[in-house]
């Protein structure tokens, strides 16, 4: 705890130590990394610990419905160009997990922190970040009744007086509305395929007009802010007009958007786009996502899609037909128990792929695919699906707990 010994009070030091002990016990008991339990113990002993742990760091917060874990990783890689970084890289993104991650970073200069959407305003108050990246907001876990617009409103109120440079997606009306109350905003044209949570003006409720890539409200005049950074195909265009190629190992448009936002964040800390982007190219997989795993003599690419916006972005990055596709959907607590979102996803995009269906809610998915007019096969488990799949790398798309199940099943 060398670097922290100055600012940390005896009580804070005790809290960190107690937290680490609890985490070790949790690990020994086989309950995962223990980071959340350790953080909970530490925060209970010293509620201001998070703020104190952050005082010596230049903090970046990253929040969104989708892409926050990957973007956190990309920003962390970029900032390592100019100093040591501490990050909650495993996606423990509520205050306890964040506290635990920061407690391990006493030597670091930068804290790059993924924050759950619901906790963003509070964490931003505690850690006085230098930058906040806001990527997108869309429907997720419907049974928790966290209305998407309500989340945007909480962001808007919670961040209105922030001293941070807010780096926000100009193409998501909800994000644009949330960020438009902040004093300093860097707008990034990062795109968003999913539009069905933002047909209403977040400001006045009018119907948004969305010609091409633009959007505006005909009633109150709220409109897309002019961006200074832009994702343009395979390039990110910096404010000086220079277009830098994005050559990630991570697939898909959404990850190019994450890289564009990450480059804009890196620039806030003086890291040039060329340097930042080259460091991002090293990232191959993030917490198992995008990993290609050999299993039973086949290659499986593991893709996580938690909600309609995530499924839409995932469909656009998979190999074309006849690549086999394996879909798995659960509806446990962490997924949200309401499966109605399946009907918001346009599964006709999978036409031509051999499709295999597993997971707790495979029958919901079967009816969904039947109504979409697709051919598919319902399988008992991943083994049966892999055995049945025709040749080629299998694209595996799963929602949250189904993804964890799959990682365990294939030994990833």
Partner 1 sequence: MSETSLRLVWVYPDLLSTYGDQGNALVVERRAQQRHIPVSRIDVRSDQAVPTSGDIYLIGGGEDRPQRLAAERLRRDGGLNRAVANGAIVFSVCAGYQILGTEFVNDLGRPEPGLGILDVRSIRNDGPRHVGDILADVDERLGLPPLTGFENHQGNTVIGPSARPLARLRYGNGNGTGDGTEGAWSDTVFGTYAHGPVMARNPLFADMLLKLALDVHALPPVDEQWYEALRAERIAAATQQPA
Query: Pick from partner 1, Zn ion, none: which does 203 bind, CB < 5 to 8 A by kind?
Result: Zn ion
Among 23, 135, 217, 266, binds Zn ion (CB under 5 A): 217
In the complex, least distance from residue 176 CB atom to Zn ion, rounded to whole angstroms:
12
Q: Indicate whether 291 belongs to the interface with Zn ion (CB under 5 A).
A: no
Query: Pick from partner 1, Zn ion, none: which does 116 bind, CB < 5 to 8 A by kind?
Result: none
Our CB check for partner 1 shows the closer of 235 and 343 to be 343
Name the residue among 55, 163, 165, 170 with its Cα closest to residue 109: 55
Residue 379 marked as a ligand binder: no
DSSP string, 85-149: EEE-TT---SHHHHHHHHHT-TT-SEEEEE--GGGHHHHHHHH--SEEEE-------GGG---HH
In the complex, least distance from residue 355 CB atom to partner 1, rounded to whole angstroms:
13
Among 3, 91, 206, 288, binds Zn ion (CB under 5 A): 206
Q: Indicate whether 367 belongs to the interface with partner 1 (CB under 8 A).
A: yes
Residues 138-167 that bind partner 1 (CB under 8 A): 139, 142-143, 145, 147, 149
Q: Indicate whether 368 belongs to the interface with partner 1 (CB under 8 A).
A: yes
Tell me how far apart the alpha carbons of residues 251 and 196 are, in angstroms, rounded to a whole number: 24
In the complex, least distance from residue 149 CB atom to partner 1, rounded to whole angstroms:
7
The tokens describing 382, both together, are 């991943």
Name the residue among 135, 131, 152 with its Cα closest to residue 68: 135
Estimate the crossing angle of helix 95-103 against helix 35-45, to 10 degrees: 90
Query: Pick from Zn ion, partner 1, none: which does 295 bind, CB < 5 to 8 A by kind?
Result: none
Our CB check for Zn ion shows the closer of 24 and 207 to be 207
In the complex, least distance from residue 179 CB atom to partner 1, rounded to whole angstroms:
20
Stretch that binds partner 1, among 262-270, 271-279, 336-344, 380-388 (CB under 8 A): 336-344
Query: Pick from partner 1, Zn ion, none: which does 355 bind, CB < 5 to 8 A by kind?
Result: none
Q: Indicate whether 221 belongs to the interface with partner 1 (CB under 8 A).
A: no
Q: Indicate whether 322 belongs to the interface with partner 1 (CB under 8 A).
A: no
Among 51, 90, 366, 409, binds partner 1 (CB under 8 A): 366
Vertex 272, ends 266 and 274: CA angle to 5°?
A: 110
DSSP string, 30-50: T-TT-HHHHHHHHHHH-TTHH
Residues 6+ apart with CB under 8 A from 233: none
Q: Judge contact between 402 and 360, C-beta under 8 A.
A: yes
Three-class secondary structure of residue 304 per DSSP: strand
Strand duo 377-378 + 355-358: pairing: parallel
Tell me how far apart the alpha carbons of residues 4 and 136 are, in angstroms, rounded to a whole number: 34
Per-residue contact string for residues 160-199; x = within reach of Zn ion by CB under 5 A: ----------------------------------------
What is the DSSP secondary structure assignment for residue 4, as one 8-state letter?
Answer: G
Q: Length of the chain in residues, anyone? A: 412
Q: Indicate whether 403 belongs to the interface with Zn ion (CB under 5 A).
A: no
Q: Judge contact between 407 and 288, C-beta under 8 A.
A: yes
Surface-to-core class of residue 161, CB atoms within 10 Å of its CB (0-12 exposed, 13-18 middle, 19+ buried):
exposed
Residue 217 marked as a ligand binder: yes
In the complex, least distance from residue 342 CB atom to partner 1, rounded to whole angstroms:
6
Q: Indicate whether 340 belongs to the interface with partner 1 (CB under 8 A).
A: yes
Residue 182 marked as a ligand binder: no
Q: Indicate whether 193 belongs to the interface with partner 1 (CB under 8 A).
A: no
What are the catalytic residues?
338
Q: Judge contact between 398 and 407, C-beta under 8 A.
A: no
Contacts to partner 1 by CB under 8 A: 139, 142-143, 145, 147, 149, 196, 199-200, 205, 207, 337-344, 363-364, 366-368, 370-373
Contacts to Zn ion by CB under 5 A: 201, 203-204, 206, 217, 219-220, 222
State the binding site.
201, 204, 217, 220
């Amino acid at each position: 705890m060398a670097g922290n010994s100055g600012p940390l009070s005896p009580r804070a030091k005790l809290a960190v130590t107690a937290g680490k002990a609890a985490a070790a016990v949790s690990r020994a008991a086989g309950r995962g990394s223990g980071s959340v339990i350790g953080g909970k113990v530490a925060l209970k002993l010293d509620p201001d610990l998070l703020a104190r742990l952050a005082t010596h760091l230049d903090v970046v917060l990253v929040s969104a419905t989708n892409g926050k874990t990957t973007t956190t990783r990309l920003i962390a890689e970029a900032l390592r160009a100019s100093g040591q970084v501490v990050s909650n890289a495993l996606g423990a993104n509520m205050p306890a997990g964040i506290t635990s991650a920061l407690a391990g970073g006493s030597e670091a200069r930068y804290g790059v922190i993924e924050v759950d959407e619901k906790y963003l305003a509070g964490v931003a108050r505690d850690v006085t970040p230098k930058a906040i990246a806001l990527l997108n907001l869309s429907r997720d876990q419907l049974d928790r009744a966290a209305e998407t617009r309500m989340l945007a409103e909480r962001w808007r109120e919670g961040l209105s007086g922030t001293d941070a440079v807010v780096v926000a997606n100009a193409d998501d009306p909800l994000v644009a509305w949330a960020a438009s109350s902040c004093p300093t905003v860097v707008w990034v044209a990062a795109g968003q395929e999913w539009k069905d949570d933002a047909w209403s003006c977040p400001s006045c409720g009018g119907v948004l007009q969305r010609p091409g890539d633009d959007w505006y409200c005909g009633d109150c005049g709220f409109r897309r802010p002019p961006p200074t950074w832009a994702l343009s195909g395979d390039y990110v265009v910096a404010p000086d007009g220079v277009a830098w190629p994005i050559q990630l190992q991570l697939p898909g448009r959404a990850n190019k958007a994450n890289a564009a936002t990450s480059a804009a964040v890196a620039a806030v800390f003086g890291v040039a786009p060329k340097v930042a982007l080259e460091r991002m190219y090293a990232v191959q997989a993030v917490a198992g996502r995008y990993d290609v795993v050999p299993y039973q003599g086949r290659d499986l690419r593991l893709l996580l899609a938690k909600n309609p916006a995530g499924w839409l972005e995932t469909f656009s990055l998979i190999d074309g037909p006849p690549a086999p596709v394996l879909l798995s959907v659960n509806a446990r607590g962490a997924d949200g128990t309401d499966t109605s979102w399946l009907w918001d996803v346009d599964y006709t995009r999978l036409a031509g792929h051999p499709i295999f269906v597993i997971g707790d809610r495979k029958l919901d998915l079967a009816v969904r695919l039947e109504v979409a007019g697709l051919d598919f096969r319902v399988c008992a488990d991943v083994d049966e699906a892999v055995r049945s799949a025709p040749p080629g790398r299998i694209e595996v798309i799963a929602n949250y707990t189904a993804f964890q199940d799959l990682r365990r099943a294939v030994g990833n």
